[in-house]
Structure 1
Amino acid sequence: MKTAVVFCPGRGTYNKDELGYLARHFPDPALLAGFDAQRIGMGQESLSALDGADRFSLARHTRGDNASGLIYAATLGDFLSIDREQVEIVAVTGNSMGWYSALACGGALSPADGFAVANTMGTLMQEALIGGQLVYPFLGDDWRPDPARKAALLALVAEIDARADHTLGLSIDLGGMLVLAGNEAGLKAFENAAEPIDGRFPLRLGNHAAFHTSLQEPVAARGRVALSPALFGQPSIPLIDGRGAIWWPHASGPQALWDYTLGHQVTESYDFTRAITVAAREFAPDLFIVTGPGTTLGGAVAQSLVLADWRGMGSKADFKARQETDPLLASMGMAEQRSLVTAR
């Protein structure tokens, strides 16, 4: 049996290729029906209808009030599909809204309550839609660590943030990518100042608010009113949060989990790279499993392992050589890697 840390993806991972993901992979029809009932009770379109649409629509499927529920359900379904006779899950973490999924996978929230948290926060984010996000890489194609370049970019972010009427900050430290968030003036200033890369970056993210910044305090406040601390309990599997802190079974206060989830997690930077480093060094798993939907988080996990100098990997070539001989990463959004950790 192999040990594994599981990673739950965040927003932006349910796209055109993922349409029908729940129909293909979700293992528990009754549980999915329960999620649909929650949404219908709130006057929202069911996940089954969204996932079963004839065609993918950016305007429809990437809205926060739709995307969050779809991603949570796809993540949880994949987690439930992991073959526990092959794999012992030793810790769970997530990227951004993937923290809500991680709470349910790790047992601190029931599946239904986890859905209520993810769906409610996605809906509140969409209703407010304060600010926006963009992504910009600081690693080169070889993934070799470049702390000086990262520091220079963060200095530029701080300089822009200090300007009158400009707000800009690090939203997510995501492997070799910086996810930045702020108001329109701050985002535009960075887009004008940063060197274009590959005709793609800086890349503005559609239907994304200024997640993980102080601009989201009104959303966090509404979330604390809507979601009771009574939903939260002790995790059954260790959880690694967006600071790299570990929430251990039998030693984690549910009130503190609620405080973090609807406070710091919403309004402060999310350090996914740190979470990966802690996962690797504290739990030393045989496998790193990235649930669906999507396949984009796998790259951030791999880059984070290189940045952590995990098992001597210092470049993309080192990671690829290891992955080809003894797979370290299993991305469940890819059929050939999904089969490594599921019974079917």
Structure 2
Amino acid sequence: MDKVAFIFAGQGAQYAGMGKELADNIEASKKIFEEADKALGFEISKLCFEGPKENLDKTENTQPAVLTTSIAALKALEEKGIKPDFTAGLSLGEYSALVCSGVLNFSDAVKLVRKRGRFMQEAVPEGVGTMAAILGLSSEDVREICREASSLGIVEPANFNCPGQIVIGGEIEAVKAASEKAKEKGAKVMPLSVSAPFHTSMLKPAADKLEEELKNIELGNVKTPIITNVTADYVGSTEEVKELLKKQVMSSVLWENTIKRMLDDGVDTFIELGPGKVLSGFVKKIDRKVKVVNIEDMKSLEKAVETLNSQER
């Protein structure tokens, strides 16, 4: 192996039962769930392990639940002696990457993302905003359809996930108009069941509230190079982090360029930590030749360790 990147899942990957096997079998993972329960003042562990789904899917619960499961998976892998050369996370996953990098303390992070989830939920009244995935168009085409539809309201690119998959968000009528324009250009459009148009300028109220919360958070130094969603470039110093996290809530997630940057810097193995395999799919669409493994339970952990040990580092 040349270089390894740890990448962390975002919101939408959650499911009832996530993290339970790791907590049942690995002491370091179990301790993360216990730490989260204590920090939050309620049993997020029980919500992760048992659901119910409707509670797990509430944004203010989803965000700490996914973060906790992701860091539990990280601790399981660290016990195997595997460390990253680089790290990044998609949207919410960037907070897991910051914990991995040593910038954020886990207890602070889990409390912060619960508030972040609430702020994002409250930023736009229900029934005002929406999101849609545009499949099959270039980033230039998507920017163009957003510009054309913006006479009807706010509509912006929210996530550049991988080639041919870009998510847009904004006010309902404008998103519908942009979606129709995308179909005219031959794209497939998938409306997303979300509570707000995340990563658009409509989330500025959430960004402002998050900025206030971040004032109370003490940050550590960057120990593992981390690439941020906002710029698809490395975080140069701790001083940049709070402003980047504020911007991240209301800016496009540049995930495709984040992965390309790591590929350019010699990463040949990506390890997705946390629930699901969404990011693994994105990476494969960006470069089919790289090695991608995910870790979310004991079977995937064992398979990942076996795969990594079979390659010489």
When the two structures are superposed, what TM-score results if normalisation uses the length of structure 2? 0.85
Gaps of at least 5 residues in structure 1 are: 140-148, 306-318
Of 301, 318, 330, the residue aligned with 2:283 is: 301
Gaps of at least 5 residues in structure 2 are: 307-313
CA RMSD of aligned residues (A): 2.6
Q: CA deviation at 1:259?
A: 1.2
Secondary structure of the structure 2 residue equivalent to 1:99: helix
Q: CA deviation at 1:337?
A: 4.7
Distance of 2:194 and 2:80 partners within structure 1:
40
Secondary structure of the structure 1 residue equivalent to 2:221: coil
Q: CA deviation at 1:285?
A: 2.4
Partner of 1:213: 200
Distance of 1:209 and 1:138 partners within structure 2:
24
Q: Given the superposition, is the C-alpha separation of residues 85 and 286 from structure 1 closer, same or farther in structure 2, using an over 3 Å criterion?
A: farther
Q: CA deviation at 1:12?
A: 0.6
Q: Given the superposition, is the C-alpha separation of residues 83 and 234 from structure 1 closer, same or farther in structure 2, using an over 3 Å criterion?
A: closer
Partner of 1:155: 144
Q: Which amino acid aligns with 1:156?
A: I
When the two structures are superposed, what TM-score results if normalisation uses the length of structure 1? 0.78
Distance of 2:194 and 2:57 partners within structure 1:
7
Q: CA deviation at 1:112?
A: 0.9
Q: Which amino acid aligns with 2:140?
A: A
Secondary structure of the structure 2 residue equivalent to 1:233: coil
Partner of 2:223: 236
Partner of 1:245: 233
Distance of 2:105 and 2:90 partners within structure 1:
19
1:257 aligns with 2:252: no
Partner of 2:92: 97
Distance of 1:218 and 1:110 partners within structure 2:
25
Q: Which amino acid aligns with 2:244?
A: Y
1:182 aligns with 2:182: no
Q: CA deviation at 1:152?
A: 2.4
**8 A Cα contact 1:86 1:341, kept in partner:** no
Q: CA deviation at 1:92?
A: 0.5
Of 192, 199, 204, the residue aligned with 2:180 is: 192
Q: Which amino acid aligns with 1:232?
A: L
**8 A Cα contact 2:6 2:272, kept in partner:** yes
Q: Which amino acid aligns with 1:278?
A: R
Q: CA deviation at 1:292?
A: 1.9
Secondary structure of the structure 2 residue equivalent to 1:13: coil
Aligned pair count reads 297
Q: CA deviation at 1:187?
A: 1.7
Q: Given the superposition, is the C-alpha separation of residues 77 and 30 from structure 1 closer, same or farther in structure 2, using an over 3 Å criterion?
A: closer
Of 249, 266, 269, the residue aligned with 2:249 is: 266
Identity %: 20
CA deviations on 1:182-211 (whole Å, 9 max, x unpaired) are: 01112222333332999x952222234222
**8 A Cα contact 2:22 2:297, kept in partner:** no
Q: Which amino acid aligns with 1:234?
A: N
